[in-house]
Amino acid sequence: MEFAMDARTEALKAELEDFMEKFVYPNEEAYEAELEAMPEPYAFTRSKILNELRDEARRRGLWNLFLPGERGAGLTNVQYATLCEITGRARTLAPAALNCAAPDTGNMELLNEFGTEEQKEKWLTPLLNGEIRSAFAMTEPAVASSDATNVETSIRREGDEYVINGRKWFITGALNPDAAFFIVMGKTDPTEARHRQQSQIIVPRDTPGLKVLRSMDVMGFKDHYNGGHGEIEFDNVRVPVSNLIGEEGGGFGIAQARLGPGRIHHCMRAIGMAERAIEMMCARADSRTAFGKTLSEQGVIRDWIAESRVRVEQLRLMVLKTAWLMDTVGNKGAHTEIQTIKIATPQAIEWIFDKAIQVHGAGGLSQDFNLAEGFAYIRTLRFADGPDEVHKNALARNELKRQRALREEKVPANA
Amino acid sequence: MEFAMDARTEALKAELEDFMEKFVYPNEEAYEAELEAMPEPYAFTRSKILNELRDEARRRGLWNLFLPGERGAGLTNVQYATLCEITGRARTLAPAALNCAAPDTGNMELLNEFGTEEQKEKWLTPLLNGEIRSAFAMTEPAVASSDATNVETSIRREGDEYVINGRKWFITGALNPDAAFFIVMGKTDPTEARHRQQSQIIVPRDTPGLKVLRSMDVMGFKDHYNGGHGEIEFDNVRVPVSNLIGEEGGGFGIAQARLGPGRIHHCMRAIGMAERAIEMMCARADSRTAFGKTLSEQGVIRDWIAESRVRVEQLRLMVLKTAWLMDTVGNKGAHTEIQTIKIATPQAIEWIFDKAIQVHGAGGLSQDFNLAEGFAYIRTLRFADGPDEVHKNALARNELKRQRALREEKVPANA
Amino acid sequence: MEFAMDARTEALKAELEDFMEKFVYPNEEAYEAELEAMPEPYAFTRSKILNELRDEARRRGLWNLFLPGERGAGLTNVQYATLCEITGRARTLAPAALNCAAPDTGNMELLNEFGTEEQKEKWLTPLLNGEIRSAFAMTEPAVASSDATNVETSIRREGDEYVINGRKWFITGALNPDAAFFIVMGKTDPTEARHRQQSQIIVPRDTPGLKVLRSMDVMGFKDHYNGGHGEIEFDNVRVPVSNLIGEEGGGFGIAQARLGPGRIHHCMRAIGMAERAIEMMCARADSRTAFGKTLSEQGVIRDWIAESRVRVEQLRLMVLKTAWLMDTVGNKGAHTEIQTIKIATPQAIEWIFDKAIQVHGAGGLSQDFNLAEGFAYIRTLRFADGPDEVHKNALARNELKRQRALREEKVPANA
Amino acid sequence: MEFAMDARTEALKAELEDFMEKFVYPNEEAYEAELEAMPEPYAFTRSKILNELRDEARRRGLWNLFLPGERGAGLTNVQYATLCEITGRARTLAPAALNCAAPDTGNMELLNEFGTEEQKEKWLTPLLNGEIRSAFAMTEPAVASSDATNVETSIRREGDEYVINGRKWFITGALNPDAAFFIVMGKTDPTEARHRQQSQIIVPRDTPGLKVLRSMDVMGFKDHYNGGHGEIEFDNVRVPVSNLIGEEGGGFGIAQARLGPGRIHHCMRAIGMAERAIEMMCARADSRTAFGKTLSEQGVIRDWIAESRVRVEQLRLMVLKTAWLMDTVGNKGAHTEIQTIKIATPQAIEWIFDKAIQVHGAGGLSQDFNLAEGFAYIRTLRFADGPDEVHKNALARNELKRQRALREEKVPANA
C-alpha cells in the first residue's frame, strides 16, 4: 500500500496550483461579471478572461489533462483524479480553462474510443483544440431516465439518413451557441433485446428540425458558465448514416463506457468544491461573533467542521481507489466501487455545503458566496446518471449475489 | 382534550378552500407568468390577477384574517393557524390575495399594538386596505444578526428628527416600489443596557438618503411574488421624531412581541407547503415507471411518503398547541413551544421537499414544479429570526434551568 | 381545540404522582435488588415490595386504570394515556403496581371484549384481581412474524379438543411461573382465506406438551421485572374447545383489535421513559466538568437536550391525538394515526436514550443507570407488532390511495 | 498510489484465513458454551478450546502479530491492520487465540517501548508467551475521563514505595483472575504542569489493598471472553518504586503513545465485525419471506445493504491510510487521521449493526446471533479513549488552526 503520489502527478499538481493561484482564483469574480454582461451569457466560450486562461493553460502543459492516450496528456485515472480535485475548487472557471469541462470531456473520450476517423477529424479535433463545444442528449422529460432503456427518442433509418424524433431536457451546454453538435441517444430498433435497442448519433446544431426550446433552471440557477441546461426538440431531424457512433444497437454499451471516468471527474471536482466550502466555513466561523464568542469557538460549529473533515477524507480515498482499480483491472472490475462513489459523493458533500451555508447566515444562500450555487450543483449529482436510489438498488443486488456465492463456497451444507 | 375545530373555523375553512379551488389554484401559473412579464416584476401588487383575487377575498370575508381585535377578523391564533395552513398551499399567491402576507402582517400587528393614533392612520389603515406595502429592516450584512443586540445601524436624535445610518440586507419586499415604508431597527443609545439600546422607527421609502441597492437572491431565486429581498443603505436618513414606534430603547421588546404570531404563520404555511409537496410526490410516484414498477410501488419511495406523513402530523399538532398556548396563557407562557416549532418546522419540511424533489427527478429542481423554490424558501427558515442553532441553545438553557428547579424541589438533599 | 386535561384526569394524575413520589421512586433500586436475590427471579409477582405497592395502589383507586367499561376504571384512551406516561417513568415497577402491565393488559382487554362468560370468570377475574399473570404467544422463530398470516403453529380440532403444535419465542412473561395461561395464536384452517386461517386459544401453563424452553435475552437483558421473554414449545398440547376465544378463523381480527389501545400504552410509557432520560441527561450534564466547563455549557450537549425536548413534545401530541381519535371515531378511524405513532415513537425515543447514555459516559451503558436497559427496551419497539418498515409500507400505501382519491375528486380531467 | 497489499501480508492473510476457516469459526459457539459452563467464566484464558487454538496459532506463525520490532512479528501498521480486520470477524475468540487481544496488546507495546529490562523480563515476557494477562486502569467513576488530566487517583511516593489510592472502573480484563497485573494511571504531583502530573505504574494483582469490586456490565453483557470490565479500589496499595513506567510525570505522554496503534487495531477489528454483520444481513434477507417477497427483494433492505457497503469501504481506506501515515511519518504526523478514524468508525459500524439486527427481527437482539453483543461493543467505542465529541472538538480546533495558517500564507492582506 502506498498513499503517496508519483513524481509526474506531483509536478503537474504544483504547476496547476500555481496556475490556480495566479490566474484562476484572482479572476473568478470578474469572470462571473463578464458572463453576466455578455449579450449571450451562455456563450461563455467567448469570454476574454476564459480565453486568456486557456492560452496560459496550454503554455503550461495543462491542456486536455483528462484524456488518456496519445491525443491527450496520457495520465492514468489516479493521476488525473488528483488534478481534477484542484480544478473543482473553482469549478465554474478552471475546468473550462484546461479544456477539461463536462460534457465535452465525456464526448471527447467517446469519440476517441468509438468514433470513426472521419468523426474524429470533424468533431474530436476541434473539441480537443477548444474551438467548439458539444453536448450529450440523453435525459427525456416524459420518462424516468434512471432506466436507460426507457429512452423514447427514435432514430429511424431512411436510406442514407437517420431521422430523429423526440424531446430531451437538462442537456448541459445546449444553450451555448458554440456547442456545435449533440451526441443523441435514441432507439434505432425498439423490437430488439432490451439493451440493444439504443444507438448514439452525432447531430450538428444547425440541422433543420432541431430546436433548443428553453433553459432548464437548477434551483433558480441558469449555469451560464457551462452553457446552461437546455430542453431540445428533435422534429424529423435528418443526419447522414455516417454520423452514427459505433454500430446500431451499441448505444447502451457506449453510454456505460462513458460513465466510469466521468464519475471519477465529477466526484473529485466535488471533493475540491467541498474543500473550498470547508475553507469558507472556517474563515467565516473565525470572523463572526455572536453572544460573546466567535462562531469557531461554538461546539456545534466545531462539530460540523470535524464531521466535514471526516467525511471528505474518507470519500477522497474511496474515489482514488476506484480510479486505481479502473487503471489496474478496468472499468468492469471497478463496477462496485464506481457505484459506491456515485452514492457516497453527493450525500457527503451536500451535507458539507449545507453546513457551510448555515455558518454564513442568510448571506450563504445569496449570490455573494458560491455556496448556494454549489449546493444546487451537488444536489443535481443525486440525479445525474440516474438517481442514487437506482444505484443503491443495483449495488445491493450485486452484494447479495456476491454473498450468496461466498456462502455456497464456504458452507457446502447449510446457511 | 379536544382536537376538533370550532364551528367558525370550520366555516371559514370551507369558504377559504372554495376560494382556493375556484380562484387560487387555477391562477397560479398565470400569475407567475404575469409577474415575469411585468416591467417591474417586483411590483406584484400591481398584478391584475392578484387584484381580482383580492376583491373576491374581500367579498367573501377572507380579508385580514390574521389580525386579532376589532380592526381584523378577530380570530384566535388557533383559529387563524388552521386557515394559514391552507394559504400556505399556494404561498406565492394566496397570502397576498387575503392581505395576509409577510412582512406586512407583522408590521400591521406591530402598528396595531404599539403605534400612535397618527401612525395608525397614516400607515396601518392603508396597509389594512391593501393600498400600500411595507418592509421590516433588521438583518445587517456586517454582523451576526442571530444576536439582536449586535445591530449596528444608528438612530441618532438631532432636534426633532432622528438621523439613521447603516446598512441592511435580506429586507423582504424592499424591491417592490409600492412598499411605502420601512420599519427600521437600530440603536438609539449604545451606552444603555444591552436590551435597551435598540429602537424601531418608520422610514418612508422616498426619504432622502435611503437607497435600495440590489436584490439579494435566495438560492438563485428572486422572489418577485413578495417584492424580493433588498439590500438597503441608510445614509443620513432623517425622519421626524414622531416616527419612532413606542419609546426609545423599546425596540428589542417590540421585536420580541412581533415574533410569536409570525412564527405560527410561518410554520402553518410551511405545513401547507409540505402537504402540497406530499401530494405532488404521490402523484408523481404513481405516474412514473422504472424497472417495471411504478415509483409508488418501490419500497424506498414508500418509506419517504410514510416518513413525510409521520413528520407533518406531529409538527402540525405542535404548532397548533403553541397557538393554543398563546391564546390561553400568552406569548410569554408559550415561549418554549414557540422555540420548539421554530426548530422543528424547517428540519421536518426541508426533508419532505428534498424527497419530493428526488421523486420528480431532474425536473424537481427546475422551474417546472415549485419544489425547488419551495425548498429554497424553507431553507431560509433555518436562518429567519436567527439560526436554529441559537434557538436550540436557548431552549436547552431553559430546559436545564427548569430541570434544576425540579431537582431542587423534589430532592432536597442531593442530586 | 383544547389541549388541557379534564378534571378527573387531573385528579388521578395528582394522585398517581403522589404515589410515584412516595412509593415508586423510593423503591426502584430495592425492588431490582429484591428480584435479583429471589430464588425465582422471574416470579416478580411474589416480590414483597411489589405487593405492598399493589395494596397501596388499590387503596388509592389506582388499580386497573387501563380497562374501559364497568370492570375497569372506565377511562377514555386520552384520559388513561396521560396517566400511562407517568407510570412509564418507572416502567419496571409502576405499571405492575397498578395492574396495568403488558402483556396482561392486552389479554384482559381481549377477554373482556371477546371472552365467554366462563372464560371471563376463570381467567379474566383473577387477572383483574392481580392473582395470576398471563402471556400472549404469537411470534415464531421460523417465520417473519411481521406478516401475521405467516404463523405456522397449528390448532387442529380433534373431537372436543384442539391439538396445538408449534414453537413460539419472545413470549413476554412466559418465564414467570405465575403466568397461569397463554393466549396462543395459530392456524385452525390453512385452506381458508388468508385472514381467516388464524384462531386464538387459551392454553393453561400446566397443560402437558407445553414446554418453556429458555429465556430470550434482549441485548443481554433478561427482563425479570416482567417475567422475561420465553421460547415455548407446543408438542401435541390438548385443550378443550371451550378455550377458543371467539370463533374459528377470528384470530387475525382479534389480534388487530388488541393492537390499538396497547400501542397508546406503549407509546405513552415510552414518552415517560424519555422524560426521565432527559432529566437524567440534564442532571448529569450539570454535574460533570470537562475542559473547564460543565457538560451543560457545551454546545453539542445543549443541542441534544433541545432536540430531545423538540422530539418528545411533538410525539406526545401525536399519541394523544390518536387516543382522542380512538375515543371519538374508533380504532378503525384512527388507523393511520395508530401507524404513525408506532413508527414515530421508537425513532424519537431511541435517539434520546442514545444521547442520555453518551452524556453519562461509560457508566451510561452499565447497570448503574437504567439507560442501557431502557435503550434495549425501546429498541425492541422497532420490532414489536411487526417491524417499523412494514408499518411504513402500509402507511404509504394508504397515503397513496387517499391521494389518488383526492386527485380524482378534484381534477376530473387530468392528473 | 498503490492499493494492493505486499506479498508478506498476502501470505499471512492466506494463512490466517485458513486458520479462521478451520479452527476459529467452527469453534465459536462451543467456546461461548465452554466459558459459560466454567466455574470462573471470566478466566477465559483457562479455556481448553482457546489454548488448543493458541498452540495452533503459534505453530502457524500467527502469534504476537501486533508487535513491531524483534520481539514481535515485525509487521508495519498497514500490514498488521489487514490481518486485524480478519481477526475482528470473530472478535471474541480470534484475537485471544493469536495473543493479539486488548488490553494486553497495548500493555505489551507500552512495556516494550518504555519498560526497564527488569519490567520486561518480569511482565512483558510472560505476556508475550501468553502465560499471563494484564489490564490497564485509567477510567474513573468520579470524573469525566475524556479529559485525561482529570484523573484523581493518587500515586504518592513514600521512601522506596509508591502508595496508590483511588477508584477505577470499566477496567477490561480485571475480573479474570489470570490478569496478573494492572498498569495504573494516577497523579504523582498535582502541583505540576497540567500534562506532567500523571504517571503510570505496575501494580500486581495480589498487592494488598487492591480490590476488584464488581463487574461493570455493558448493555447487559458481561464480556467474559475478555475478562469482563471491573470496578477496582486502590486503598493504600504499595508497590516498589521500580514499578514506575518511565519517569514521574511521564504518564500522559505514555498514554498518548499507547493510543495510535491501538486505535488502528480497534478500527480494523470493527471493520471485520461489520463485514460479518453484512454477511449475516444478506444471508438472513435471502432466507426470510414477508408479504410474498424475500427480504432481499425489498427496496428498504437493499438500501441498507448498499449503504453498509458504501460506509465500510470508505472507512477501511481511511484506517489503512492512517496506518500508512503512522508507518511513514509517525504517530504525530498521523494525528488528524487518528482522530478521524476514532470518530468515523463507531458511527459507521453502529449503523450497520443496527440494520443487521433489524433484518433479523427480534432474534437479532437475542443471544442467538452475536449482533446485539456486537452492537453493544461498538457502542462502547463512542466512549473508549474519550467520547467522540471530545475528539471532534479537538479535530475542529486543529482544522481551524490549519486553515488560519493557510489563509495567512495565501492572502497576505485580508481574510
Q: What is the pLDDT of residues D136-157, one digit of tens each?
A: 999 999 888 777 788 999 999 9
Task: Quote the CA–CA distance of C133 and D364 in Å, as a whole number.
Answer: 27
> What is chain D's Cα-based Rg?
22
Q: To which H or E segment does residue A171 belong?
A: strand A161-172
pLDDT for residue D149 = 80
> In the 8-state DSSP scheme, what is residue B143?
S
Task: Quote the CA–CA distance of C13 and C15 in Å, as a whole number.
Answer: 5
Q: Give start and end residues of each alpha helix (H) in C103-236.
A: 104-114, 117-119, 125-128
Of A335, A260, A333, A318, nearest to A77 by C-alpha is A260
> What is chain A's Cα-based Rg?
22
Taking CB atoms and an 8 Å limit, are D298 and B301 in contact across chains?
no
Considering only CB atoms, which chain D residues are within 8 Å of B298? 299
The beta-carbon neighbor of C403 closest among B1, B21, B283 is B283
- Buried/exposed code over D32-71 (b: 16+ C-beta within 10 A; e: otherwise): bebbeeeeebbbbbbbebbeebbebbbeeebbbbbbbeee
B164, B170 in Cβ contact below 8 A? Answer: no
pLDDT for residue D411 = 58
Cα separation values, B34 from A222, B27, B31, Å: 21, 10, 5
A69, A112 in Cβ contact below 8 A? Answer: yes
Task: For residue C103, say if its preceding peptide bond is cis, omega within 30 degrees of 0.
Answer: yes
> In the 8-state DSSP scheme, what is residue A230?
E
On average, the pLDDT of chain C sits at 95
Q: To which H or E segment does residue A66 belong?
A: none
Q: To which H or E segment does residue A155 belong?
A: strand A154-158
CA A52 to chain centre: 24
What is the CATH T-level fold of the domain D7-128, as seen in this structure?
Butyryl-Coa Dehydrogenase, subunit A; domain 1 (1.10.540)
pLDDT-above-70 percentage for chain D: 99
Q: In angstroms, how far is the first alpha carbon of chain C from the final one?
A: 35
Sequence letter at residue A15: E
pLDDT for residue A414 = 45
Report the sign of the C-alpha dihedral through residues B154, B158, B162, B165, in that order: negative
Of C243, C39, C217, C249, nearest to C122 by C-alpha is C243
Considering only CB atoms, which chain D residues are within 8 Å of A1? 2-6, 78, 320, 324
| Burial class for B147, CB neighbours closer than 10 Å (0-12, 13-18, 19+) | middle
Task: For residue C204, say if its preceding peptide bond is cis, omega within 30 degrees of 0.
Answer: no
C134, C179 in Cβ contact below 8 A? Answer: yes
B interface with D, Cβ–Cβ below 8 Å = 298-303
On average, the pLDDT of chain A sits at 95
Residue D178: strand, helix, or coil = coil
- Per residue in D338-378, pLDDT (tens digit) is 999 999 999 999 999 999 999 999 999 999 999 999 999 99
Answer whether residue C414 shows pLDDT above 50.
Answer: no
Taking CB atoms and an 8 Å limit, are C305 and B337 in contact across chains?
no
Return the partners of chain C (3 or more C-beta pairs < 8 Å).
Answer: A, B, D
Q: What is the ipTM of this complex?
A: 0.95
- Tell me which of D400, D401, D402, D407 to substitute to probe the interface with A (most A C-beta atoms closer than 10 Å): D400
Kindly report the number of other CB atoms within 10 A of residue B163's CB atom: 17
- Tell me which of B2, B3, B76 to substitute to probe the interface with C (most C C-beta atoms closer than 10 Å): B3
Answer whether residue C415 shows pLDDT above 50.
Answer: no
| Nearby residues of A48 by Cβ (< 8 Å), 6 or more positions away | A34
- Tell me which of D79, D295, D314, D321 to substitute to probe the interface with A (most A C-beta atoms closer than 10 Å): D314
- For residue C232, give the C-alpha cell: 415455548
> In the 8-state DSSP scheme, what is residue A370?
S
Q: Report residue A277's pLDDT band, with 50, 70 and 90 as the boundaries.
A: very high
Sequence letter at residue A411: V
Q: CA of B304: which chain D residue's CA is closest?
A: D300
Sequence letter at residue A151: V
Q: Can you spell out the DSSP letters for B145-206?
A: TTSGGG---EEEEETTEEEEEEEEEEEETTT-TTEEEEEEEEES-TTS-TTSSEEEEEEETT
Taking CB atoms and an 8 Å limit, are B298 and D298 in contact across chains?
no
Is pLDDT larger for residue C170 or for residue B386?
Answer: C170
Considering only CB atoms, which chain A residues are within 8 Å of B287? none
Our CA-based measurement puts residue B374 at a distance from the nearest CA of chain A, in whole angstroms, of: 10
- Per residue in A152-195, pLDDT (tens digit) is 999 999 999 999 999 999 999 999 999 999 999 999 999 999 99
- For residue D401, give the C-alpha cell: 488552526
Residue A136: strand, helix, or coil = strand
Of B194, B213, B208, B229, nearest to B102 by C-alpha is B229
Considering only CB atoms, which chain C residues are within 8 Å of B287? 415
Kindly report the number of other CB atoms within 10 A of residue C237's CB atom: 25
What is the CATH T-level fold of the domain B133-248, as seen in this structure?
Butyryl-CoA Dehydrogenase, subunit A; domain 2 (2.40.110)
Taking CB atoms and an 8 Å limit, are B300 and D301 in contact across chains?
no
Considering only CB atoms, which chain B residues are within 8 Å of A170? 362, 366
- For residue D196, give the C-alpha cell: 506532567
- Per residue in B371-411, pLDDT (tens digit) is 999 999 999 999 988 899 999 999 999 999 999 999 998 75
Task: Quote the CA–CA distance of B15 and A83 in Å, as a whole number.
Answer: 62
Our CA-based measurement puts residue B193 at a distance from the nearest CA of chain A, in whole angstroms, of: 15
| Burial class for B410, CB neighbours closer than 10 Å (0-12, 13-18, 19+) | exposed
Task: Quote the CA–CA distance of A200 and A186 in Å, as a whole number.
Answer: 6
Average pLDDT over residues C47-67: 98
Kindly report the number of other CB atoms within 10 A of residue C18's CB atom: 12
Of C128, C219, C105, C226, nearest to C173 by C-alpha is C226
| Nearby residues of C310 by Cβ (< 8 Å), 6 or more positions away | B340, B343, B344, B395
Average pLDDT over residues D58-63: 98
Phi, psi of B163 (to 5 degrees): -110, 125
Cα separation values, A134 from A50, A73, A127, A164, Å: 17, 21, 8, 18
Considering only CB atoms, which chain C residues are within 8 Å of A300? 299-300, 303
Answer whether residue A222 shows pLDDT above 80.
Answer: yes
Across-strand partners of B165? B154
Of C278, C94, D63, nearest to B402 by C-alpha is C278
Phi, psi of A411 (to 5 degrees): -120, 85
A42 half-sphere exposure, CB direction, 13 A CA radius: 20
CA A126 to chain centre: 20
The beta-carbon neighbor of B393 closest among C302, C321, C336 is C302
Residue carrying C-alpha cell 466459558: D35
D224, D149 in Cβ contact below 8 A? Answer: no
Task: Quote the CA–CA distance of A135 and A154 in Å, as a whole number.
Answer: 18
pLDDT for residue C239 = 98
Strand A198-204 to A229-240 pairing: unpaired
C208, C138 in Cβ contact below 8 A? Answer: no
Task: Quote the CA–CA distance of A248 and A154 in Å, as a whole number.
Answer: 12
A135, A182 in Cβ contact below 8 A? Answer: yes
Task: Quote the CA–CA distance of C176 and A182 in Å, as a whole number.
Answer: 75
- For residue C191, give the C-alpha cell: 385452506
Q: State the architecture of A133-249 in CATH terms.
A: Beta Barrel (2.40)
D60, D47 in Cβ contact below 8 A? Answer: no
Task: Quote the CA–CA distance of C75 and D28 in Å, as a whole number.
Answer: 53
Of A287, D363, A326, D228, nearest to C139 by C-alpha is D363
Task: Quote the CA–CA distance of B208 and B202 in Å, as a whole number.
Answer: 14
Average pLDDT over residues C68-74: 92
Phi, psi of B200 (to 5 degrees): -120, 140
How many residues can be counted in chain C?
Answer: 415
pLDDT-above-90 percentage for chain A: 91
Answer whether residue D412 shows pLDDT above 70.
Answer: no
- Tell me which of D293, D295, D300, D302 to substitute to probe the interface with B (most B C-beta atoms closer than 10 Å): D300
Q: State the architecture of B252-408 in CATH terms.
A: Up-down Bundle (1.20)
Show me where the domains of chain C are located. 7-128, 133-249, 252-408
- Angle at the Cα of B104 (from B101 to B109), degrees rounded to 5? 110
| Nearby residues of C336 by Cβ (< 8 Å), 6 or more positions away | B309, C395, C398, C399
Q: pLDDT tens digits, chain B, 415 residues: what are they? A: 999 999 999 999 999 999 999 999 999 999 999 999 999 999 999 999 999 999 999 999 999 999 999 999 999 999 999 999 999 999 999 999 999 999 999 999 999 999 999 999 999 999 999 999 999 999 999 888 777 788 999 999 999 999 999 999 999 999 999 999 999 999 999 999 999 999 999 999 999 999 999 999 999 999 999 999 999 999 999 999 999 999 999 999 998 887 788 999 999 999 999 999 999 999 999 999 988 899 999 999 999 999 999 999 999 999 999 999 999 999 889 999 999 999 999 999 999 999 999 999 999 999 999 999 999 999 999 998 889 999 999 999 999 999 999 999 875 544 3
Our CA-based measurement puts residue A294 at a distance from the nearest CA of chain D, in whole angstroms, of: 12
Q: Where are the beta strands (DSSP E) in A188-243?
A: 198-204, 210-215, 229-240
Q: To which H or E segment does residue C219 belong?
A: none
pLDDT-above-70 percentage for chain A: 99
CA dihedral A48, A54, A55, A60 (to 10 degrees): 150
Q: Where are the beta strands (DSSP E) in B207-251?
A: 210-215, 229-240, 244-245
Average pLDDT over residues D241-270: 92
- For residue D157, give the C-alpha cell: 511516593
> In the 8-state DSSP scheme, what is residue A412?
S
